[in-house]
């Protein structure tokens, strides 16, 4: 009976639950699904991480390659993020060129990387003006159950912290690069960040960490990206229900708490691996 009611009148179905201050999956309105993190599971990548945010699963693999730097910034390497939502992860995505959702998410991740001062890009320099590391960060969604942005950013950050790049020496005579097979180094992550996504239901109720059903029913979405030290990195609100200043302030507060949780989750996971 419940299933028929849900299919026929999803909004009413949700309202019945939200009246009791609970969501159909048993969470409270401000509760985030359990987050599971696993790093370094893909040995062909230089760094990798798998994140499960409830059912949403994202795997991020990072591969480093040599590239020549830009003329303006001869000492800086760069990151190339890409979010892939293959048809495998949900029935809503069809085979073919990347969906709009994937492109928009990629752009948001790229913007966030640019504005966050995540790492010192000069660390990625191999030889000034000649050769730098370019890190391709591919985030792939394996199971799509809403809130892809949060999951992607956790996966990206954890994978970046997991990166081990081989030490490169340049042969003076031939000018060729040689990779050391024994020595490697990790990246120096300066500034970590984390995203928290909110969805607005029925123009009034704020839900944290929406599932795919909640996203579909939402009248508005907002993602707040906060750095570890509490600075705002992005308030991304692509239209939808207007929100008042108080509501936004409330969201920022919650995002700051969440960012601390995520950073310590990543720390703990990496520690447990190294031990």
Partner 1 sequence: MTSNPENNSSVEIRPIGSLQSCISKPDGSAVFTQGDTSVMAAVYGPGDVKPNKALMDKATVTVTYKPKIGISGVREKALERMIRNTCETVLLTTLFPRSSVDIIVQEIQDAGALLACSINAACLAMINAGIPMKCTVAASCCMMGKDEELIMDPTKEQTKDAECVLTSAIDSSAHSLIASSMQGSCSVEQYHKLMSVCQKACDKVFEFYREAMERTLSKP
Partner 2 sequence: MAGLELLSDEGFRLDGRRPSELRKIRLRLGVFDQADGSAYIEQGNTKALATVYGPHEVLGGKGKPLHDKVIINCQYSMATFSTNERKNRPQGDRKSTEMSLHLQRTFEATIQTHLYPRSQIDIFVQILQADGGNYCACVNAATLAIINAGIPMKDYVCACSSGYVNNTPLTDVSYLEESQGGPVVTVAMLPKSEQIALFKMDNRLHVDHLEQVLEVASKGCKDMYAVMNAAVKEHVSRMAKSMECS
| Rounded least distance, CB 203 to partner 1, Å | 10
Cα-to-chain-centroid distance, residue 200: 21
Cα Rg of the chain (Å, integer)? 21
Name the residue among 60, 47, 34, 59 with its Cα closest to residue 273: 47
> Which span sits near partner 2 by CB under 8 A: 103-111, 132-140, 164-172, 230-238?
132-140
- Residue 143: phi, psi to the nearest 5? -140, 125
**Mapping DSSP to helix (H, G, I), strand (E, B) and coil, where does residue 257 land?**
helix
Residues 44, 135: Cα–Cα separation, whole Å = 14
- From partner 1, partner 2, none, which one binds at residue 55 (CB under 5 to 8 Å depending on kind)? partner 2
18 forms part of the interface with partner 2 (CB under 8 A):
no
* Number of Cβ within a 10 Å radius of residue 225: 26
35-54 binders of partner 2 (CB under 8 A): 42-45, 48
SS3 string, 169-216, reads EECCCCCCEEEEEEEEEECCECCCEEEEEEEEECCCEEEECCCHHHHH
Judged by CB under 8 A, the residue of 37, 42, 79, 108 near partner 1 is 108
Please report, as residue ranges, which positions from 206 to 245 form the binding site for partner 1 (by CB under 8 A): 220, 222, 227, 230-245
Which of 80, 243 has the CB closer to partner 2?
80
Task: Compare residues 45 and 195 and give the one whose CB is closer to partner 2.
Answer: 45
Minimum Å distance from CB 161 to partner 2?
Answer: 16
Q: Is 88 in the site for partner 2 (CB under 8 A)?
A: yes
Write the binding mask 13 to 32 for partner 1: x where contact by CB under 8 A, - elsewhere.
--------------------
Please state the separation of Cα 112 from the chain's center in Å. Answer: 10
Contacts with partner 1, residue ranges (CB under 8 A): 100, 103-104, 106-108, 111, 114-117, 220, 222, 227, 230-245, 248-249, 252
């Amino acid at each position: 009976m419940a299933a028929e009611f849900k299919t026929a009148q999803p909004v009413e179905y949700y309202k019945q639950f939200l009246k009791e201050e609970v969501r159909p999956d048993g969470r409270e309105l401000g509760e985030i699904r359990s987050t599971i993190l696993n790093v370094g599971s893909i040995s062909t990548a230089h760094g990798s991480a798998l994140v499960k945010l409830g059912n949403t699963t994202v795997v991020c693999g990072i591969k480093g390659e040599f590239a020549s730097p830009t003329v303006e910034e001869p000492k800086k390497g760069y990151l190339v993020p890409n979010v892939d939502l293959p048809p495998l992860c949900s029935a809503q995505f069809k085979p073919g060129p990347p969906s709009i959702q994937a492109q928009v998410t990629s752009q948001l991740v790229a913007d966030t990387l640019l504005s966050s001062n995540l790492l010192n890009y000069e660390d990625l320099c191999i030889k000034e003006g000649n050769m730098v590391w370019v890190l391709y960060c591919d985030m792939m969604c394996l199971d799509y159950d809403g809130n892809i942005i949060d999951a992607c950013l956790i996966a990206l950050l954890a994978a970046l912290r997991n990166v081990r790049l081989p030490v490169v020496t340049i042969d003076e005579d031939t000018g060729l690069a040689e990779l050391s097979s024994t020595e490697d180094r990790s990246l120096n992550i300066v500034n970590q960040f984390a995203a928290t996504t909110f969805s607005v239901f029925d123009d009034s109720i704020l839900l944290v960490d929406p599932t795919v059903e909640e996203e579909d029913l939402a009248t508005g979405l907002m993602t707040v990206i906060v750095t570890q030290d509490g600075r705002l990195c992005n308030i991304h609100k692509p239209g939808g229900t207007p929100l008042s200043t108080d509501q936004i302030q409330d969201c920022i507060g919650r995002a700051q708490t969440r960012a601390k949780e995520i950073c310590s989750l990543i720390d703990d996971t990496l520690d447990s691996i190294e031990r």
